[in-house]
Amino acid sequence: MSYRFADRMSNIPESFIEALFRVSGDPETISFAGGLPDTNLIDAAGIAAAAREVLEEEGAAALQYSTTDGYRPLREYIAARYRKRLGIPATAGEIQIVNGSQQCLDLVAKIFCNPGDHIGMERPGYLGAIEAFSLYEPVVHGVDLCDNGPDLAMFARIAEEHPLKFFYGIPNSQNPSGRTYAEETRRSIARMLEGTETVFYEDDAFGELFFDGRPRPPVKKYLPDMGILSGSFSKIVAPGMRIGWLLAPEPVLQQFNVAKQAADLHSNYLCQVVMHRYLSGFDLDAHVRRVAAIYGERCRVMCDLLDDRFTAGVTHTTPEGGMFLMAFLPEQISAMRVFEEGVRRKVAVLPGVPFYVNGGGDHCIRLNFSRSKEEEIMEGMERLAGVIRALS
């Protein structure tokens, strides 16, 4: 049979997802390649209790259709948390519930991008965003990411030369690099975009997971009218519930709501009600501090091993939070070879290539430290050090 698929399907970059699932399915393989939070830190009993309460007290009403914008008490909870944590004057009316913040990537690109429109993003950038945006056939301009955030001179030049519909970034504990924007970088980006028609799309999936417990001000705080901010409960409560949100100005949410309604009518209503019930009787701040402390210790162990056990020329980022770091290899070592040899030696990493729009990433790898216990990190990093020694 011959199927006449849309031209856009040929523009999606090659994905490593299938290969990663295959590798991760091997119980003998220690995987640093995925992006999962630690299953042991999910409060399954507490969520189960909340679900029972909802079904016993609200019954069929919690199993009915609902509005596209989402369960209002949950949106009010999210807005109140923004006001308390970050000093953003958010309201429930500015928040739209989505199926994980990943859905925001699709719908934001859908409402903003015509084929051939220009957008910007970090380089390296989040693989899920690269794949989601590519379906709408934009011209993507990568801005090199430095330790303090995007290269500001490069950012200014691209923003001036091209009418960017939006710039997508992850200022807090970026995926894949683990880097965090300095506050002055956030202010500088806001100053550059102020008065333009370029939206700053801020993905804040990791903003609660700073190891020092100190929140960083979002770019949106300095760019309220042209900033949109996505968040998620996936990294701090339970990814399987698929509850994320978008905080955006009303004109953006109006268009976003239309696209969301066409896509799925609304996100899982039962999970929204259960999530709100759960959070209403749960100390989320204490839970987040515990999770961040555990991830911070695992990150420290991984960084120490990279410093102490690896061959000369291997360097790495040192995250302030989140779930990932990036290691940089000597020029003679290919990241794809490390991936392939790692699979053979039962340790999985993600090569840097798919994170770089318009080429690059041949000599870096992404490592996830959130999923593995310390003893697994120590064993897996020993295997990885052996891979790199063999390829040197």
Strands 243-247 and 315-316: unpaired
List phi, psi (to 5°) of 119.
Answer: -135, 160
pTM: 0.95
Length of the chain in terms of residues written: 392
Q: Is the peptide bond before 249 cis (omega within 30 degrees of 0)?
A: no
pLDDT of res. 16: 66
Domains and CATH numbers, the chain: 7-43+286-391 (3.90.1150.10), 63-280 (3.40.640.10)
pLDDT of res. 15: 67
Q: Which has the closest alpha carbon to 133: 100, 159, 167?
A: 167
One digit per residue, the tens of pLDDT, for the chain of length 392 reads 889 998 888 877 766 666 666 666 678 999 999 889 999 999 999 999 999 999 999 999 999 999 999 999 999 999 999 999 999 999 999 999 999 999 999 999 999 999 999 999 999 999 999 999 999 999 999 999 999 999 999 999 999 999 999 999 999 999 999 999 999 999 999 999 999 999 999 999 999 999 999 999 999 999 999 999 999 999 999 999 999 999 999 999 999 999 999 999 999 999 999 999 999 999 999 999 999 999 999 999 999 999 999 989 999 999 999 999 999 999 999 999 999 999 999 999 999 999 999 899 999 999 999 999 999 999 999 999 999 999 98
List phi, psi (to 5°) of 374.
Answer: -60, -40
Is residue 370 within 8 Å of residue 323, measured between CB atoms?
Answer: yes
**DSSP SS3 for 178:** coil
Q: State the Cα–Cα distance between residues 322 and 343, nearest whole angstrom.
A: 25
